[in-house]
Chains A and B, each alone.
Chain A
Amino acid sequence: MNHKKTAYLGLFAAVAIIFGYVESLIPFFAGIPGMKLGLANLAVLFILEKYTWKEAALVSAVRILVIGFLFGNMFSILYSLAGAALSLAVMTLMKKFSGFSILGISVAGGVSHNIGQLIVAALIVENTSLLYYAPALLISGVVTGLLIGLLTGEVTKRIRL
């Protein structure tokens, strides 16, 4: 790993952490647990576009651990890791095989993030009635995925690493 890349990854991990913090300040809650904008995914998606999934996974893991220890607890770290891991895996596969643009990749990431979190949540509380949230979380994954995908597309055009 060269020095320039190390610096950029650190920078974007910091951006992702700030985004996570900003998001925690926005009182956006639609009555469904786990529904949120996913601003931090902007940084992860950007890194995935510019480098590979390994760098994106590193930035994502650093963000989740820092945010988790600062503002959350062991459980919120677990939920976040599950969502982020599934989301990044799906986005990496989509990028490689689907021929989708960043918009489609972002939507796939948003949806799979929500599904991953929902499954872990249902496993942890050992109650399948949580799965009733699935339709709402699918739709919110599409909407936030589109939004984050649009933003990341614009940022990718303007920032050259």
Chain B
Amino acid sequence: MKKKEVIFIISILASALLLWGIMLLIRKGDYGSVRITVNGEEYGTYSLSQDQVISIGETNVCEIRDGQIKMIGADCPDHLCIKQKAVGSSGGTIVCLPNKVVIEGVKAAGSEESSPEFDTAV
């Protein structure tokens, strides 16, 4: 491998790590609820403290239990969303691409004041 290729690869890895660090900082906080969007439109926001099973349209089913949300049913063939990590108090995202369903952690109402610098930056 040539020297410039090594530099090229290292710079990609470095920018990935930098991006990751920035995202960790932005995402830091306590996530008390989740927002479900279908097709880019909000389907609903649910508290993670209340155990329940939510049907998202006719395509997906997710479950909130023990402060975490998981996709438990989908009518698409690959079921990748069911294998994705549960979203809990540290936030995260579950995506079902074929059905355009996105579940994402939302910060609890109280935590917004604790990190105002990130709110202005977004």
B81 surroundings in chain A (CB, below 8 A): 33
> Would you call B53 an interface residue if the criterion is a C-beta within 8 Å of the partner chain's C-beta atoms?
no
Tell me the minimal C-beta distance from A93 to chain B in angstroms.
13
Q: Given A73-B98, A103-B1: A135 and B23 within 8 A (CB)?
A: yes
Please tell me if the beta carbons of A104 and B100 are within 8 angstroms of each other in the complex.
no
> Would you call B9 an interface residue if the criterion is a C-beta within 8 Å of the partner chain's C-beta atoms?
yes
CA A107 to CA B12, docked complex, whole Å = 10
Q: Which of B20, B85, B97 interacts with A125 by CB under 8 Å?
A: B97
Tell me the minimal C-beta distance from B82 to chain A in angstroms.
11
CA A99 to CA B13, docked complex, whole Å = 20
Please tell me if the beta carbons of B9 and A107 are within 8 angstroms of each other in the complex.
yes
> Would you call B39 an interface residue if the criterion is a C-beta within 8 Å of the partner chain's C-beta atoms?
yes
Name the interface size band of chain B. 20 to 34
Contact with A along B1-33 (1 / 0, CB 8 A): 110110011001101110110010001000000
Q: What number of residue pairs across chains A and B have CB atoms under 8 A from each other?
A: 97
CA A133 to CA B80, docked complex, whole Å = 15
> Would you call A43 an interface residue if the criterion is a C-beta within 8 Å of the partner chain's C-beta atoms?
no
Chain A, range 113-147, C-beta contacts under 8 Å to B: 121, 124-127, 129-130, 132-136, 138-139, 141-142, 146
Q: Count residues on chain A whose CB falls below 8 Å from chain B CBs.
A: 35
Q: Which of A33, A104, A124 interacts with B8 by CB under 8 Å?
A: A104
CA A75 to CA B20, docked complex, whole Å = 28
Question: Interface of chain A, helix or strand or loop or mixed?
Answer: helix
B50 surroundings in chain A (CB, below 8 A): none
Tell me the minimal C-beta distance from A47 to chain B in angstroms.
21
Please tell me if the beta carbons of A132 and B12 are within 8 angstroms of each other in the complex.
no
Q: Given A107-B9, A127-B40, A134-B19: A121 and B97 within 8 A (CB)?
A: yes
B contact residues vs A (CB 8 Å cutoff): 1-2, 4-5, 8-9, 12-13, 15-17, 19-20, 23, 27, 37, 39-40, 76-78, 80-81, 83-85, 93, 95, 97-98, 100-102, 104
* Extra pairs beyond A76-B78, A98-B4, A127-B37 (6, CB < 8 Å): A33-B84, A73-B98, A101-B1, A124-B100, A125-B97, A125-B101
